[in-house]
Structure 1
């Protein structure tokens, strides 16, 4: 018996909405009746975050995004991060789960001496960055970068990891090879794990520093469980204050994304990879 001939489309939509985006894409390949249900706005609205409308309205491309069908919007949000908070933060979806991913751009971070004197840091555009400006280190002895995000905007009941996203100047960075920096993540003022000490030079730390596939490098700063998503804060810090002269670091930002549900390269895949 073909249940698609018995159940109304509303019931098929409800059933599929309790599965996953990947299952919905597979269902669409079974038969025309399931395709109609699996591709419907009723299904894909369930896979989007409940506050997606308020998020996309902050983007400069909100008019285009609002006009999309819900499936098209889902694919757009995992394939192309959108800028919010006046271009200082980006938002996208984790491909398989639909959970929220954010990146705090360099302008959303607190960088010691980042704004005081252009002899220490400069702010410039860079073609391979998603943000209007990145922070480029000219010269410092004291390196300290901090960021903060509210837990209520993250997906609840989700284990997150924070990643420092950066480059070392190809013409020669100084003060990073063989010199570890301290990386820390804390929730509501309580450290989620012990301070990590990792060199930002890939040649020192090939297990910890990795290429992202978008022209940038990243290193994990730590992880935490956003259990309830209530009114709390997560703080991130990178510090090296031993007195080594440093130059040639380029900061794009600090990214938060769900842990153990894929990696940054997964968000670059073609939508057909669901099948």
Structure 2
């Protein structure tokens, strides 16, 4: 009776090894699919298995999610060379609010759409034609930057 059970277990193991799984899909195929997904979806799928995680690190996937002027933004806002960071790391850093020009401006990427968002404080504004101090006084408050 024991020999019959162990033979059955061996057949079951052999069948399981021949069955393909998600981990068997090549990373290049998964990366090609990731190009059409939103970044939050890519990050969720990357936690499924090693193949998905590896595919989520491909630079060509994240380059499609970055704005066309991302090189300028990395230089201006992050004060780094774009070549020193992976595209995924650039995307992650640009999705966080980044202040520049003495903290008077803030820029970030919307995680879903990849659109660039810019916040300009009142100190950074210049009103054309009314730059005379008689008409324009900045009254600082605790909430202002």
Q: TM-score scaled to structure 2, two decimals? A: 0.67
Instruction: Indicate the structure with greater strand content.
Output: 1
Unaligned stretches of 5+ in structure 2?
1-19
Alignment partner of 1:11 out of 19, 29, 46: 29
Greater RCO structure (CA 8 Å; 6+ sep) = 1
Higher relative helix content: 2
Instruction: Give distance in 1, aligned partners of 2:51 and 2:76.
Output: 36
Q: Verify: 1:97 aligned to 2:117, yes or no.
A: no
The alignment's C-alpha RMSD in Å is 3.1
Identify if the C-alpha distance between structure 1 residues 24 and 44 changes in structure 2 by more than 3 Å, giving closer, same or farther: same
Q: Secondary structure at the match of 1:71?
A: helix
CA offset at residue 119 of structure 1?
8.6
Which structure is larger by alpha-carbon Rg, 1 or 2?
2
Query: What are the equivalent positions in structure 2 for 1:99-178 lying under 5 Å apart?
Result: 99-106=115-122, 107-110=124-127, 113=130, 115-117=131-133, 120-121=136-137, 136-137=138-139, 169=141
Tell me the CA shift for residue 99 of structure 1.
1.3
* Structure 1: segments with no counterpart, 5+ residues: 122-135, 139-168, 171-215, 217-249, 253-275
**Corresponding residue number in structure 2 for 1:38:** 56
**Contact 1:45–1:70 at 8 Å: present in 2 too?**
yes
Partner of 1:91: helix, strand, or coil?
Answer: strand
Q: Secondary structure at the match of 2:117?
A: strand
The offset of 1:82, in angstroms, is 4.2
How far apart, CA to CA, are the structure 2 residues paired with 1:93 and 1:83?
A: 15
CA distance in 2, matches of 1:18, 1:120: 49
Residue 67 in 1 paired to residue 84 in 2? yes
Give the length in aligned residue pairs: 125
Provide Cα deviations, 1:89-116, integer angstroms capped at 9, x if missing partner.
4321012322110123432331775x42
CA contact (8 A) 1:4 1:12 kept: no
What is the deviation of 1:52? 1.0
Tell me the TM-score normalised to structure 1 length: 0.38
* Superposition map of 1:226-265 within 5 A: none
Question: Is contact 2:30-2:52 (8 Å) kept?
Answer: yes
Residues 174-193 of structure 1 aligned to structure 2 (within 5 Å): none
* 1:2 equivalenced with 2:21 (yes/no): yes
